[in-house]
Amino acid sequence: MVAVIEQLKDHLNHAVLGQPDLTHELLVALIANGHVLLEGPPGIAKTTAAKALAGAIDSRFQRIQFTPDLLPGDVTGSDIYQQETGQFSFIPGPIMNDIVLADEINRAPAKVQSALLEAMGERQVTVGNHSYPLADLFFVIATQNPIEQEGTYPLPEAQLDRFMMKINLGYPSASSELDVLRLVRQQDLHKTLSGPNTSICTPADILQLQHQALSLYMSESVEEYIVQLIMATRYPERYLADTGKETRLIEFGASPRGTLALDRCARANALLSGRDFVTPDDVRRVALPVLRHRVLTTFEAQAAGLSVDDLLKRLISHVPAL
């Protein structure tokens, strides 16, 4: 399986230039068996990354463009009356695929967003009186644009907590942007000559990687470190008292679901790093994308210009690894 991991890394890094954190954290979320929310300005390869990942796996991929007029049945599917038989039959929606790209998820109203809750949390959809299981490899990649607020519906905390990771994206460097320019020009030039995409692995390979990550060794001290990081988001005054600054900066800390997500993502990071054991560095590497959407800051923190990432970095630096 080491070869599969390396091929996935190379494929994503070649398809998405200048975003190494994005490609790495996408693979972490995939192997950790969770869903991911990508947030960043338009045109920085969020959709490209999702399509590249789906293309590397011999899987069923579907993109859903979220709009204000979308209905829950447009996502989950619905019962349609068949005049020939006089009965209703279930027509699957786009959510019934292996990898689903929920593009601009914050443009859909709350009813449509909540339609994803059961699917993401329980891996099934319920239409009428029947529940339908989703694919074994069910991976949601949602995107949202933080710039435009008009005509959008912010995701509630309960929905955000369903995402294992939230990845914040910025613009690439000048050298990376030059590489992107040349790569896209070359692709457009040879578009008619290019052959079909060749998949690197199958859903069964990904499921095996997920199982392998869960079987990695994690010492009790690393488990305690994960729990202490979560406790620090709930009771920051216990860890920041020595700074002499106002410590009431966090309104709500991470939930137990955040503890489980930090454990799974640390294991996936260790597997991607080629190790069969988890270290505190693995936990620190994934802490920001796992926790940033699970922590609510106070008005005092916002007034002081402190972002969630600033507070989490401060807490991480004050929580010792046991």
Q: Is 49:86 a contact under the CB 8 Å cutoff?
A: no
Strands annotated E in 134-223: 139-144, 165-168
Q: Residue 275 is part of which domain span?
A: 216-318
Contacts of 153 (CB under 8 A, 6+ apart): 106, 107, 108, 109, 110, 113
Q: Is 18:183 a contact under the CB 8 Å cutoff?
A: no
Are 33 and 163 within one domain?
yes
Per the domain annotation, does 11 fall within a domain? no
Per the domain annotation, does 193 fall within a domain? no
Torsion of CA 62, 36, 267, 199, to 10 degrees: 30
186-220 burial code (b ≥16 CB/10 A, e <16):
eeeeeeeeeeeeeebbebebbeebbebbbebebee
The pLDDT tens digits for 84-120 are 888 888 899 999 999 999 999 988 888 888 888 778 8
Are 142 and 62 within one domain?
yes
Nearest to 144 by CA among 161, 166, 162, 111: 166
Nearest to 160 by CA among 282, 254, 229, 226: 254
> What mean pLDDT do residues 12-29 have?
89
Are 159 and 40 within one domain?
yes
Are 45 and 99 within one domain?
yes
Strand partners, 89: 80
What's the number of CA atoms in the CB half-sphere (13 Å) around residue 164?
26
Q: What is the pLDDT of residue 17?
A: 82
Are 253 and 151 within one domain?
no
The pTM of this model reads 0.89
Which phi and psi angles does 167 have, rounded to 5°? -105, 120
Query: What average pLDDT does the structure give for the chain?
Result: 87
Per the domain annotation, does 182 fall within a domain? no
Per the domain annotation, does 197 fall within a domain? no
Per the domain annotation, does 205 fall within a domain? no
Rounded CA-CA distance 136/133 in Å is: 9
Strand partners, 78: 91
Are 223 and 163 within one domain?
no
Are 41 and 130 within one domain?
yes
The pLDDT tens digits for 220-263 are 999 999 999 999 999 888 887 655 554 578 889 999 999 999 99
Are 147 and 235 within one domain?
no
Are 234 and 161 within one domain?
no
Are 222 and 129 within one domain?
no
Are 151 and 64 within one domain?
yes
Q: Is pLDDT of 280 > 80? A: yes
Are 34 and 144 within one domain?
yes
How many structural domains compose the chain? 2
Rounded CA-CA distance 62/264 in Å is: 26
Question: What's the CATH number where 52 sits?
Answer: 3.40.50.300
> What mean pLDDT do residues 180-194 have?
69
Per the domain annotation, does 15 fall within a domain? no
Nearest to 290 by CA among 256, 262, 254, 320: 262
Per the domain annotation, does 110 fall within a domain? yes
Nearest to 297 by CA among 287, 288, 307, 284: 307
Question: What's the CATH number where 239 sits?
Answer: 1.10.8.80
134, 156, 171 - which closes a domain: 171
